[in-house]
Structure 1
């Protein structure tokens, strides 16, 4: 298929030449995998389920036009979460329809766990989507029960072997239907040592029989907050050994980067942070700070080495002052935590306002994460929110570059 030769995930030759973008319009998920969490975002982290923003279909169109204008080698628009594409089908379908109306030749690609494939496979075909990735980690429900906590289907929450059996049946039915209707199906398999590692060859044989185009055997990335967060990450030697073994039966993808849900650019060069929507929408009256002006930056850091705290969880901020060449710690400012839980965050307005007032003399607040409401309220006080997962030293330089001699942007939020 000609379009496959321009799809960087399906063609090893294309991935160094053609760019793709993932549109994070699908936040909800209908299964809970033991290796997955969608609650953590770091600008330096690349794994499925991670995004720095969520988009409406209208914003997705705007972002597509922006990226297409700047990136003439963009060939593929994918929807890979941060949840499941088919669990958010109305938003996904609207995004596709609107983008196709202005760019008919764009290649669309979906990623799904397959639970809802029997329901939407015909619509996928009718929309002209010719590339679908299905994550299928086991064809034995007993093994599957060790990989999934539960599935949500037709208003029911199933767990254990029952959940794995329903998921598997829908995956098999959906893969066969798509393959029979000229859709190129790539099957992703997450290799978890001690659970499905020796079972993977059987999975590959099974999906080949259904008509799958290729499989992508991926290493487990132990995600913070997931059931498998303390399990060892599968080594690339182990991954390549199993790929070599399975390649006798079916084509193997070897250049996967396990991309973020908002990835943009070549597989080897993610530019997602450059194209955050907060950088798209400038304030009508942007302000500037000159490079010579000393800046004061509040940092959420537990021990002063790393930017490692969420804004809402910090009970103190380290206040640094400098001009970009050097920063010095001038104060450690104690505050009450901005958020103590969902109920308190709704009712304790006085405490929240006190935290904001304690930081309003700063030019910026540097945190690992910050919620949209706090970010907007800081902005109203003239304080820029900067997110980073790095050392304090590097984070300060990053914040200074965003502040110094640049327009201050209206920040977007997850």
Structure 2
């Protein structure tokens, strides 16, 4: 297919690209972007990724101080747009995968398009669900998509990915990496064919995929990709690769120079948080937390006065400040979405004893008892939760809301999320 033919792209796409700080090196010091963390779920587990940690001073993909409903994302966009003159791009980059929570992602985009039809949207994805959702992405008018492709060789990919969850089945090893790659390449080809500017992110892991990356770059060039972004490994605490050294800038730039001969390289990436706001080199996300917004409130449309029963993980009953897997008691609240009362405190065993166990498959009877203890609840409100626990609760019809603020605000937030999901599924 060859590289992108700019003469075939619409003038408005090229204009928006020139104002996109991630796609244009000239734009990153002029135009601001904001990432809206509305997609907490992920369908793969990368060995370099751990989304359990939130530190306001930490900047890496997957980190966020809050997870938003589409309605709150719309309100936050309006707030930031009013305060930030050169906001040009809205990105959805997790904190999980934008397509794994496609209903929330799509609803957020529609809300913001209604407020500002001229804003540029950008999605980041691992690409597993691209063949399924690429037509909808194009139909929504999204013209900038970033896909992370770390390997063409499934044997190398098997060293990078712990598992892939796809259409109700679990895949590991070479099978997982091969499936992911097949879907990535098919989705990228479709997007490029339909006028989408595709950027490829590649995490450089020295001794694992570094010598393989030039082959990845050549392949995506054939598909018509616009730019590649080779990024250094940031060893995340609690991840399988936490013991590996961070990729040096010298090694990174040497590889970028080699790959520059095939396709343009992005050299100004800041590996942004999932809630980043502002210029690339001036993240202002902590100025715009929804819990600090003047006269901030949660709108819950509950005309039939439905009662919600929500289990909360909290160390002292004031804040949603505990990981689900570490809780030994659950606070059970009941209310109509606006007002809640504490009904009981349930004592439970710890779902996991350490970081790795929180994402290990839960098969023992003790964990099953914890899940069963929540069968009368509509939702679990927690600071963080492991993938397997989350999926097991969802299998029981229990909604998961990850949040980090007061219990009172969190309960209203969870109720609004449940209503938002119901509205999205009925569209």
Q: CA deviation at 1:78?
A: 0.2
Partner of 1:341: 326
Q: CA deviation at 1:72?
A: 1.2
CA distance in structure 1 between the partners assigned to 2:165 and 2:263 by the alignment: 31
Partner of 2:354: none
Q: Deviations over 1:130-158 (max 9, x none)?
A: 00000000001000000000001010000
Alignment of 1:10-409 (within 5 A): 10-282=23-295, 312=315, 341-346=326-331, 349=345, 376=406
CA distance in structure 2 between the partners assigned to 1:238 and 1:187 by the alignment: 19
Q: SS in structure 1 opposite 2:105?
A: helix
Partner of 1:324: none
Q: Deviations over 1:52-108 (max 9, x none)?
A: 000000000000000000001000000000000000001000000110011000000
Kept after mapping to 1: 8 A contact 2:290/2:296: no
TM-score, normalising length: structure 1: 0.72
CA distance in structure 1 between the partners assigned to 2:346 and 2:218 by the alignment: 61
Q: CA deviation at 1:225?
A: 0.8
Partner of 1:402: none
C-alpha change, 1:159 and 1:214, in structure 2 (3 Å) is same
CA distance in structure 1 between the partners assigned to 2:104 and 2:292 by the alignment: 23
CA RMSD of aligned residues (A): 2.8
Q: CA deviation at 1:279?
A: 1.1
Q: SS in structure 2 opposite 1:86?
A: coil
Kept after mapping to 2: 8 A contact 1:312/1:338: no
Kept after mapping to 2: 8 A contact 1:28/1:88: yes
Q: SS in structure 1 opposite 2:145?
A: strand
CA distance in structure 2 between the partners assigned to 1:261 and 1:255 by the alignment: 17
Runs of 5+ unmatched residues, structure 2: 1-13, 298-312, 317-321, 333-343, 348-381, 385-401, 418-427
CA distance in structure 1 between the partners assigned to 2:331 and 2:407 by the alignment: 15
CA distance in structure 2 between the partners assigned to 1:128 and 1:373 by the alignment: 30
Partner of 1:383: none
Kept after mapping to 2: 8 A contact 1:35/1:227: yes
Q: CA deviation at 1:311?
A: 8.5
CA distance in structure 1 between the partners assigned to 2:259 and 2:266 by the alignment: 11
Q: CA deviation at 1:282?
A: 3.8
Kept after mapping to 2: 8 A contact 1:312/1:339: no
C-alpha change, 1:200 and 1:350, in structure 2 (3 Å) is closer
CA distance in structure 1 between the partners assigned to 2:346 and 2:235 by the alignment: 39
TM-score, normalising length: structure 2: 0.70
Runs of 5+ unmatched residues, structure 1: 285-309, 314-336, 352-368, 380-409
CA distance in structure 2 between the partners assigned to 1:57 and 1:208 by the alignment: 35
Aligned pairs, number: 317
> Which of 9, 17, 29 in structure 2 is aligned with 1:4?
17
C-alpha change, 1:339 and 1:96, in structure 2 (3 Å) is closer
Kept after mapping to 1: 8 A contact 2:43/2:164: yes
CA distance in structure 2 between the partners assigned to 1:27 and 1:281 by the alignment: 25
Partner of 1:393: none
